[in-house]
Amino acid sequence: MTTRLPSTSDSLPDGEAPGCDTSDILIVHRIFRWGFREMPRLVRDATPGDLARTTVVADAVDLVTLGLHVHHEGEDAMLWDPIEARRPSCALTVGLMREQHRHVAALLGRVGPRVVDWRERADADAAEALAAALDDVGVALGVHLGQEEDEVVPVAAEVLSQREWDAIGEHGRESFPKDGIPIQLGLMIDAVPEADRADWPREHLPAPIRLLWAILLRRRYAAWQRALFPEGMPAIA
């Protein structure tokens, strides 16, 4: 019987090979680009004084911002160190990624209190303050995601094992509230480019999750879509 050595940043665990399929991060990034484009619009479009609508939109804002927070948390904990250790020539780029994450985190920190304020007041001023804070996150994110995709993801695909890469995605799923799971999964499916969408669940989801999606989660996601986008949800592109 062999004993698996604990993983360190500079060496792959025994039995694991470098190289992984990183395509899922591009899907996740599409959701965030979409989310930080649509959320400020929904906040601004809500009728002042409409507390029910404010609650629906504020709940969605909380989900999207939490999703971004846990996505970055996973990268901070599991992505930067191994890349820096295994590809030292990327140290400057990784330093930039860490700094961009700190900047986005600071901007996200301004969103939370403004959501609380808007939920309570539901007026135009509170809505605009929140929408502007979301816009600021979206601008910083637009720069960060592009650089991460161009300069970091290709390196991760070469130096991380598939298990290490999958652990980052797993962190994002495990850190999400259970009642947000249908939304998280539905957005993932909708963010897959149309040509690949029909095959994606079979290729990327375990059979029990596909069954759960078919019998329960898909309906919950559809209800969320109808409530948030009564005129139809804009495509995630």
In the complex, which residues of this chain contact Fe ion (CB under 5 A)? 75, 148
Query: What's the min distance (Å) between Cβ of 97 and Fe ion?
Result: 6
171 vs 220, beta carbon nearer Fe ion: 171
148 vs 190, beta carbon nearer Fe ion: 148
If you search the block for the tokens 């030292």, which residue do you land on?
88
Query: What's the min distance (Å) between Cβ of 37 and Fe ion?
Result: 18
Query: What's the min distance (Å) between Cβ of 187 and Fe ion?
Result: 18
131 vs 155, beta carbon nearer Fe ion: 155
12 vs 168, beta carbon nearer Fe ion: 168
Map the chain to HEC letters: CCCCCCCCCCCCCCCCCCCCCCHHHHHHHHHHHHHHHHHHHHHHHCCCCCHHHHHHHHHHHHHHHHHHHHHHHHHHHHCHHHHHHHCHHHHHHHHHHHHHHHHHHHHHHHHHHHHHHHHHHCCHHHHHHHHHHHHHHHHHHHHHHHHHHHHHHHHHHHHCCHHHHHHHHHHHHHCCCHHHHHHHHHHHHHHCCHHHHCCHHHHHCCHHHHHHHHHHHHHHHHHHHHHHCCCCCCCCC
Query: What's the min distance (Å) between Cβ of 220 and Fe ion?
Result: 28
Query: What's the min distance (Å) between Cβ of 86 and Fe ion?
Result: 18
148 vs 164, beta carbon nearer Fe ion: 148
147 vs 162, beta carbon nearer Fe ion: 147
Query: What's the min distance (Å) between Cβ of 28 and Fe ion?
Result: 10
Check if the beta carbon of residue 152 is closer than 8 Å to that of residue 97. yes
Record the tokens describing residue 90, joined without a space: 């990327």
